[in-house]
Structure 1
Amino acid sequence: MRLTRRNLLTSMATMTAGLAMPALVRAQEDNFWDMFNKDRRINSVDLEGNTATAKSLVDTIEPILSYDTAYNLQLAIQNYEAFVGANGSWEPPSRETFGLKLGVSRRAAALLKRRLMINGDMPLEKRVNDEFDAGLDAAVRLFQARHGLVINGTVDEATFYALSVPADYRLNQLRLNAQRVEFWAQALSDRYVVVNIPAAVVEAVEGAQVVQRHNSVVGKVDRATPILNSKIFQVKFNPYWTVPKSIIEKDLIKYMNEDPEYLTKFRIRIFDGKGNEIPPAAINWQTTEAVKYTFRQDPGGENSMGHCKIDFYNKHDVYMHDTPQKALFGENARFHSSGCMRCENIEELVAWLLRDNGGWDVPGVLSAFTGGLREDVKLDVQVPIHTTYITAWANRQGTVSFRDDVYQFDAAGIVNFSEG
Structure 2
Amino acid sequence: MSKKSEAEMISRRTLLRSAVSLGAASIAAPVLAQDTLQDIISAPRRGTWDDQFDATAASRTAATVTSNNPVLGPMGPANIQQAILQYQQIVAAGGWPQVTPVQQGLRLGAAEPSVQQLRQRLMISGDMPQSVGMSNSFDSYVDGAVKRFQARHGLPADGVLGEFTLKAMNIPADVRLNQLNTNLVRLQSMAGDLGPRYMMVNIPAAYVEAVENERVALRNTAVVGRIDRPTHTINSKVYEVILNPYWTAPRSIVEKDIVPLMRKDPTYLTRNNIRLIDGKGNEVAPETVDWFAPKAPNLMFRQDPGKINAMASTKINFHNPNNEYMHDTPQQGLFNKLMRFESSGCMRVQNVRDLVTWLLRDTPGWSRQEIERVINARVNTPIKLAQEVPVYIVYITAWSAKDGVVQFRDDIYQRDGATELALQTKYGVEQSAGSIDDDMLPAQ
* TM bin (shorter chain): 0.7 to 0.9
1:309-346 per-residue CA deviation (whole Å, 9 max, x = no partner) reads 11111111111111111111111110111111111111
Which amino acid letter does the alignment assign opposite residue 96 of structure 2? W
1:221 counterpart SS class: coil
Where do 4+ consecutive residues of structure 1 move more than 6 Å? Answer: none
Provide the residue aligned with 2:120 in structure 1: 114
Q: Write the distance in 2 (CA, Å) between the matches of 1:325 and 1:269.
A: 22
CA distance 1:358–1:273, shift in 2 (3 Å): closer
Provide the residue aligned with 1:25 in structure 2: none
Instruction: Please say if 1:53 is aligned against 2:60.
Output: yes
Q: What is the Cα deviation at residue 165 of structure 1? A: 1.6
Instruction: Please say if 1:62 is aligned against 2:69.
Output: yes
Provide the residue aligned with 1:83 in structure 2: 90
Q: What is the Cα deviation at residue 90 of structure 1? A: 2.2
CA distance 1:301–1:81, shift in 2 (3 Å): same
Q: 5 Å matches for 1:159-308?
A: 159-186=165-192, 188-249=194-255, 251-252=257-258, 261-275=267-281, 276-279=283-286, 282-284=289-291, 289-290=295-296, 292-308=298-314
Which amino acid letter does the alignment assign opposite residue 182 of structure 1? Q
1:393 counterpart SS class: strand
Which amino acid letter does the alignment assign opposite residue 353 of structure 1? L
2:144 counterpart SS class: helix
1:248-278 per-residue CA deviation (whole Å, 9 max, x = no partner) reads 4565456657766543332222333343424
Provide the residue aligned with 2:338 in structure 1: 332
Please report the TM-score for the alignment, with normalisation by the length of structure 1: 0.82
Equivalent of residue 389 in structure 2, options 370, 383, 391: 383
Q: What is the Cα deviation at residue 247 of structure 1? A: 4.0
Which amino acid letter does the alignment assign opposite residue 122 of structure 1? M
Please report the TM-score for the alignment, with normalisation by the length of structure 2: 0.78
Gaps of 5+ in 1: 1-39, 414-420
CA distance 1:339–1:133, shift in 2 (3 Å): same
Provide the residue aligned with 2:399 in structure 1: 393
CA contact (8 A) 1:233 1:312 kept: yes
CA contact (8 A) 2:75 2:191 kept: no
CA contact (8 A) 1:221 1:407 kept: yes
CA distance 1:42–1:266, shift in 2 (3 Å): farther
CA distance 1:251–1:190, shift in 2 (3 Å): farther
2:317 counterpart SS class: strand
Q: 5 Å matches for 1:101-180?
A: 101-125=107-131, 127-180=133-186
Equivalent of residue 100 in structure 2, options 90, 94, 115: 94
Q: What is the Cα deviation at residue 190 of structure 1? A: 1.5
1:149-194 per-residue CA deviation (whole Å, 9 max, x = no partner) reads 1121111222122112221221111111110011023361121000
2:131 counterpart SS class: coil
1:123-158 per-residue CA deviation (whole Å, 9 max, x = no partner) reads 113732222211111111111111111121111222
Which shows bigger deviation, 124-133 or 195-204?
124-133
Which amino acid letter does the alignment assign opposite residue 279 of structure 1? P
CA contact (8 A) 2:326 2:349 kept: yes
CA distance 1:342–1:280, shift in 2 (3 Å): farther
CA contact (8 A) 2:289 2:297 kept: no
Q: Write the distance in 1 (CA, Å) between the matches of 2:369 and 2:138.
A: 45
Q: Write the distance in 2 (CA, Å) between the matches of 1:142 and 1:252.
A: 46
CA contact (8 A) 1:62 1:208 kept: yes
Which amino acid letter does the alignment assign opposite residue 64 of structure 2? L
Q: Write the distance in 2 (CA, Å) between the matches of 1:284 and 1:340.
A: 29
Aligned positions, number: 373
Q: What is the Cα deviation at residue 53 of structure 1? A: 0.4
1:51-89 per-residue CA deviation (whole Å, 9 max, x = no partner) reads 2101111221111112212111001111111211231x3
Percentage identity across paired residues of the two chains: 43
Provide the residue aligned with 2:7 in structure 1: none
Q: Write the distance in 2 (CA, Å) between the matches of 1:171 and 1:159.
A: 18
CA contact (8 A) 1:193 1:203 kept: yes
- Give RMSD over aligned pairs: 2.5
Which amino acid letter does the alignment assign opposite residue 62 of structure 1? N
Q: What is the Cα deviation at residue 92 of structure 1? A: 2.1
Q: Write the distance in 1 (CA, Å) between the matches of 2:329 and 2:395.
A: 23
CA distance 1:127–1:46, shift in 2 (3 Å): closer
Q: Write the distance in 2 (CA, Å) between the matches of 1:78 and 1:313.
A: 38
1:355 counterpart SS class: coil
1:410 counterpart SS class: coil
CA contact (8 A) 2:122 2:128 kept: yes
Q: Write the distance in 2 (CA, Å) between the matches of 1:156 and 1:252.
A: 40
1:223 counterpart SS class: coil
Provide the residue aligned with 2:6 in structure 1: none
Q: Write the distance in 2 (CA, Å) between the matches of 1:170 and 1:260.
A: 54
Which shows bigger deviation, 338-347 or 263-272?
263-272
Gaps of 5+ in 2: 1-46, 420-444
Provide the residue aligned with 1:362 in structure 2: 368
Q: What is the Cα deviation at residue 110 of structure 1? A: 2.4
1:93 counterpart SS class: coil
Which shows bigger deviation, 154-163 or 256-265?
256-265
Q: Write the distance in 2 (CA, Å) between the matches of 1:258 and 1:127.
A: 66
